[in-house]
Amino acid sequence: MISPLNNVEINFTTRPFCYWNNLFTDDELIKIQDVVSSNELQDSTFSNCEIDYEVRKSKVNFHKQDENNSWIFDRFNFVVDRTNNDVYQFNLWGYDFFQYSEYHSDGGDHYDWHQDLSFGNVTYESRKLSLVLLLNDPNTDFSGGEFQIHFGNNNMKSTITFDRGSVVLFPSFLNHRVAPVKSGIRKSITLWVTGPKFK
């Protein structure tokens, strides 16, 4: 179920990303879609509430833990704890919410290269570990919308091949993007695990 966490040599290397296949069953993904549909979607913004469609164009809403979604948080917590313990060993505090996103093809929705780690705002906790869950099928529900991570020089860019229900985790300081969606709607959940500043 887990890759590439199998047979990890923690002291030998730090992986730029880790992924889990089939974290949620098909029935659970349907229930998640019901949960995220309960809140109204809004245009995505940056930390200063600025809208810039050249950089980021999507619809989002946010979900704090409650009795209806606590089972989703429990599953994410397990993955974050296991991945961090096995691979990154960051000093983490936790997270308060997750973000649901829709990228629509009719608007060429996308999110250009960026980092999740917050700079220049001392009121923010440091985002250390990012998690992305794909909720629908890239083979039938949408095309384009590739998730890519850039970790080094121009030749060190990786396109993550997602299946529906799969999760990728990576350090929040890595550049990454969602390429423009060409057809259909790409649906995903993202969360950011915070901690004290890197030392």
What is the mean pLDDT of the segment spanning 191-196? 95
- Tell me the pLDDT tens digit for each residue of 14-37: 788 998 999 999 999 999 999 999
- Tell me whether strands 18-20 and 167-171 are parallel, antiparallel or unpaired: antiparallel
The pTM of this model reads: 0.89
Q: 2-7+15-195 has which CATH code?
A: 2.60.120.620
**Confidence at 66, pLDDT banded by 50, 70, 90:** very high
DSSP annotation of 86 reads I
pLDDT of the residue at 120: 57
Q: What are phi and psi of 119, to 5 degrees?
A: -120, 150
Calpha distance 37→61 (Å, rounded): 9
Amino acid identity at 29 = L
Domain ranges for the chain: 2-7+15-195
